Amino acid sequence: MEQLLVSDGTDTATLTKKNVGETETQINTWLLEINVAEGSRERSQRMLEAAAQTVSISGGGNIEYWVENANDELDSVPISAGYVPFRDLKILSRALPAIPSQIRTREFTSADVNEVIRINNSAFDWHPEQRDMTEDRLSSTQSEAWHIDDGFRILEDNQIVKGFCWMKLHGEHCSCCKKSKQLRGEIFVIAVDPVFQGDGVGRELALSGLEWLSTQKIREVFLYVESDNFPALKIYDSIGFQHSSTNRCFQRIIRKDVSSKE
């Protein structure tokens, strides 16, 4: 994992090179995280600008910087540093239990690997992170502490896998919730084979996942969804999810500093 580190002795900016696949027009994409003492706006802007200069000296590329719980005040910092918003992830949530599903799903088994990968890549060929799943990537995610096969729900009908709903349990076993004592569930991924899309399968898979979470004594569930994924938003609205907050990604495309020496 290639990284660039920028620091003034107090504040830091870490740029991690993103794997976006090999294309003829490929440019380097860097994921940016900043750590600024006391959350100072001025110092945050300075680190954002310093990160851009570092990428310029390093050959140019695209920087992606995420703001959690975005609002006008938080947005103004990267905008002032020359970054522009280009992607929103909506966070939706609801209480459990929900209405029962009309389908029955089963636990994931190793025999499902090929079909899960095929369906995922067909359903998410447009998605910047979820597309291009491989067996190694699937195995890596399943090795994380939060994963249990029983929470990876497979919809199979007449020996045909139609889709899946992958649930994530947040709490003591989840690295992103170590400080939280509250157990929460997440709809991690729902994918429907495009052949069966439009028949209400996605909605029933979501309800099936919520049913499973209820059996785990989970009473709150959330998910992330692209702000322009209108079919998914319609489904989640129909089963009682409400918008909680938005995470916003800003980008800045940096040209190579031609004055720098190789």
> Mean pLDDT, to the nearest integer, of 133-158?
96
Question: Tell me, what CATH number does 12's domain have?
Answer: 3.40.630.30
Tens-place pLDDT, residues 149-186: 999 999 999 999 999 999 999 976 665 665 556 789 99
Q: Into how many domains does the chain fold? A: 2
Pairing assessment for the beta strands 84-95 and 106-107 based on DSSP bridges? unpaired
- Per-residue pLDDT reduced to its tens digit, 206-253: 999 999 999 999 999 999 999 999 999 999 999 999 999 999 999 999
pTM: 0.90
- Which residue range(s) make up the domain with 68? 3-89+247-254
- Do 163 and 133 share a structural domain? yes
Do 57 and 25 sit in the same domain of this protein? yes
At residue 205, the 3 state secondary structure works out as helix
Residues 174 and 147 in one domain: yes
Q: Which residues lie below 8 Å from residue 94, measured CB to CB, with a gap of 6+?
A: 220, 221, 222, 239, 240, 241, 242
Residue 38 and residue 103 in one domain: no
Query: Which residues have C-beta within 8 Å of that of residue 81, sequence separation ≥ 6?
Result: 45, 48, 49, 52, 252
For the stretch 97-118, pLDDT in tens is 999 999 999 999 999 999 999 9
Strand intervals (E) in 56-104 = 61-67, 84-95
Please report whether residue 106 resides in a domain: yes
Instruction: Specify whether 20 is located in the same domain as 81.
Output: yes
What one-letter code names the amino acid at 132? D
Same domain (yes/no): 125, 143: yes
Q: Is residue 207 part of a domain?
A: yes
Residue 123: other Cβ atoms inside 10 A = 21
Q: Are residues 107 and 61 in the same domain?
A: no
> Degrees (nearest 5) of the Cα angle 241, 243, 247?
130
* Mean predicted lDDT score pLDDT of the chain: 92
